[in-house]
Structure 1
Amino acid sequence: MELNQIIQSIQSKQSEISSVYFVGCGGSKADLYPGFYFLRKNAKKLIAGHFTANEFNYDTPAAVGEHSIVITCSLGGTTPETVQATSLAKSLGAHTIAVTHEPQSPLTKDADYVVTHGFHESYSAKVSKMTKVLTLAVEILNTFEGYDAYDHFIEGLGKIYDVIDDATESLLPQAKKFGEAYKDAPVIYVMGSGATTEVAYSFSICLLLEMQWINSSSFSDGEFFHGPFEIVEKDKPFLLLMNEGSTRPMDSRALEFLNRFDAQTTVVDAKDFGLFNYIAEDVIDYFNPILIEGVLRVFAEQLAIARKHPLTKRRYMWKMSY
């Protein structure tokens, strides 16, 4: 079933939807964020919530019910907390949509609708999960409230995967430089803004903390000057994600400060990949995280190679009960 057909099916059963919740863990939680961000910015009536799964389970929003859509997300579909969240949402009468790479996984057991996505096929496939969740959010808004920029968004969907694959082909020299420069860094701070805020978060907690065992923290560029900027000094490692669109002034202000004090700053900038050449201005904010997350994978791979520490290496995950 196409994504717009899923939302139309929900509308045929429930003409009024008042809330939408995005629920997942780790990288999947971060992949849900652009969809949440889109609704938070554009919806006039719909309430949008974004939860890590166990918080949803233990501190469930009172509004979850027959007038709610709950979108849960797990790459392999086996994350226990997210499986439980899907079942809980279903038991409360919500319309449940499970987004996963594995259509027969436990996540889908109590889902009314299942959305499957790619992952291993290419760099662009790795952001298919994020893109499909964002598209669900756009379809929800367009169906229940209307969305003037809908056609521009659909046009962008038809281009963004090619933009990512073209970008990653040219990135290798820059990514290798990043890997060599940061391979011995005791800590790496990751910054972003707008819809890309949780791309910074996921790179920090998943690619650096989980997969490389490098100390890391992430924060919004908007919060940078309200505490974190005090740790900036010469050669302190930072990774700054820069958007095209409405929050770029926040990114630029952060970059200016990092450069003023000679921090060791790597910038991944959507502008460098010509995003404005492909995506309409009124929807470009929502395509920044898709592009930036796609190209960041090349940086992570080259860091792993430089450190001789495969991205699949773990101390605890998959090796013990916790």
Structure 2
Amino acid sequence: MKQTEIVEIMHFDQEAYLAGGARFFETGKRMSALADRVADEGYDAVFLMGVGGTWDEFMQLEYLMNKFGDKDLEVYLIHAAEWNVLGHKRMTKKSVVLTASESGTTPEVLEACKRLKEQDIRVYAMTKPEGPIGKVVGAENCVEMAASHGASGCEGSYYLADCFGLRLLNRRGCFPKFDEFIAQTEHIWEHLIDIRKRFEPRAEEIARKYALAPYTMFIGSGALWGETILFSMCILEEMQWKRTRYITSADFFHGTLELVEPGVPVILFKGEDECRALDNRVEAFLRSGVTGDEDYVIVDTAEFGISGLDPEFRVIVSPWILSSIITDRLAAYYELVTKHNLDYRRYYHQFDY
């Protein structure tokens, strides 16, 4: 297997990835148990709180809980830094907050967690129990997510968050097939490796064509919107110092389309939810001849099959697929072409600001 790691997927440890996936399946049970505790205690609203990449990652769960939830369910995505200065009028002592910090030290999230505890508001965190945030929240309310951006990609974070949010829906009677979903995704990590292998040549092709472009547009919508921002901002802006513009398929036709011209790469991420109709409109515009065929890329998660997965669950795993092929594989080839190490920063975590 070591040989296939080198030949088939560049800079990717398949054994570590599968081991990480197995750990996430087990850890997901704990996330579901936390959701059961919340359901048993009762709640009036659910707040998903992040900052930067974690805020982006929670977007898919906000979308899914609103999609599958009943009309009385209140779900709010909040930015930790903004909540620290603005608060939220709907938040009460009956509310529940789910947050995340892989490092366990994110200052905005740490400050927010301290304030939440002072207000006796329940907060659960995907973070290191021994880290500063974990100590504030309490080990009994933490779930480790350290392997998510290493051995198991961002899709590990998605999986854990979904175990929490979809279980809450299940307890409300809104997502009756929760157990089937968990069973069908237990070994999804193997499928995501195969999907990586399939996309590998295309990842290299896209990077060699566009990684050195001075400016690139990224378009997404629905369940994929958070991942669209995450790749554009966290990977390309922060880790590659590339100038990007990320915009929803809905908003693309209200300003951004006027910047489409030969020489400006436009990359569209097509999803598998209701917003696909909006993606199709963007695709039709790009294919209409307004720019050359070499200036746009269409990446469609529907092209990547996962055997044994019910069609109704495709919308849930579509961000996992995009994370596998874009935030992992395409990022690796951008690094190869730009020769800019993904771990190198000018300012981030270099000094206090």
**TM-score where L is the length of structure 2:** 0.84
Give 1:52-201 correspondences, 5 Å limit: 52-100=79-127, 102-112=128-138, 113-117=141-145, 118-119=147-148, 122=151, 124-201=152-229
Deviation at 1:259, TM superposition (A): 2.0
Mapped to 1, the partners of 2:148 and 2:67 lie a distance apart of: 28
- What is the aligned partner in structure 2 of residue 31 from structure 1? 57
Whether the 8 Å CA contact 1:35–1:136 is kept in 2: the answer is no
Whether the 8 Å CA contact 2:35–2:165 is kept in 1: the answer is no
> Which ranges in structure 2 are unaligned for 5 or more consecutive residues?
1-28
Matched, 1:42 2:68: yes
Whether the 8 Å CA contact 1:99–1:116 is kept in 2: the answer is yes
Matched, 1:290 2:316: no
State percent identity of aligned pairs: 26
Matched, 1:280 2:310: yes
Deviation at 1:248, TM superposition (A): 1.9
Whether the 8 Å CA contact 1:160–1:291 is kept in 2: the answer is no
Mapped to 1, the partners of 2:149 and 2:228 lie a distance apart of: 21
Q: Number of matched residues? A: 317
Whether the 8 Å CA contact 1:27–1:206 is kept in 2: the answer is yes
Deviation at 1:110, TM superposition (A): 2.4
| CA gap 1:283/1:120 in 2 versus in 1, 3 angstroms | closer
Give 1:304-315 correspondences, 5 Å limit: 304-315=335-346
Deviation at 1:306, TM superposition (A): 0.4
SS of equivalent to 2:136: coil
> Which ranges in structure 1 are unaligned for 5 or more consecutive residues?
none
Deviation at 1:159, TM superposition (A): 4.3
Deviation at 1:166, TM superposition (A): 1.1
Mapped to 1, the partners of 2:218 and 2:101 lie a distance apart of: 23
| CA gap 1:86/1:145 in 2 versus in 1, 3 angstroms | farther
Matched, 1:18 2:44: yes
- What is the aligned partner in structure 1 of residue 300 from structure 2? 269
Mapped to 2, the partners of 1:103 and 1:74 lie a distance apart of: 11
Mapped to 2, the partners of 1:152 and 1:228 lie a distance apart of: 41
From 201, 225, 233, give the equivalent of 2:253: 225
Mapped to 1, the partners of 2:92 and 2:178 lie a distance apart of: 27
Q: Greater CA deviation, 107-116 or 183-192? A: 107-116
Whether the 8 Å CA contact 2:69–2:174 is kept in 1: the answer is no
State the AA in 1 paired with 2:97: V
From 317, 322, 334, give the equivalent of 1:303: 334
| CA gap 1:176/1:252 in 2 versus in 1, 3 angstroms | same
Matched, 1:249 2:277: yes
Whether the 8 Å CA contact 1:20–1:47 is kept in 2: the answer is yes
Whether the 8 Å CA contact 1:239–1:266 is kept in 2: the answer is yes
Mapped to 2, the partners of 1:172 and 1:278 lie a distance apart of: 23
What is the root-mean-square deviation in Å for CA atoms of aligned residues?
1.9
SS of equivalent to 1:50: strand
Deviation at 1:227, TM superposition (A): 1.9
Whether the 8 Å CA contact 2:203–2:325 is kept in 1: the answer is no
Mapped to 2, the partners of 1:32 and 1:40 lie a distance apart of: 12
From 37, 43, 47, give the equivalent of 1:9: 37
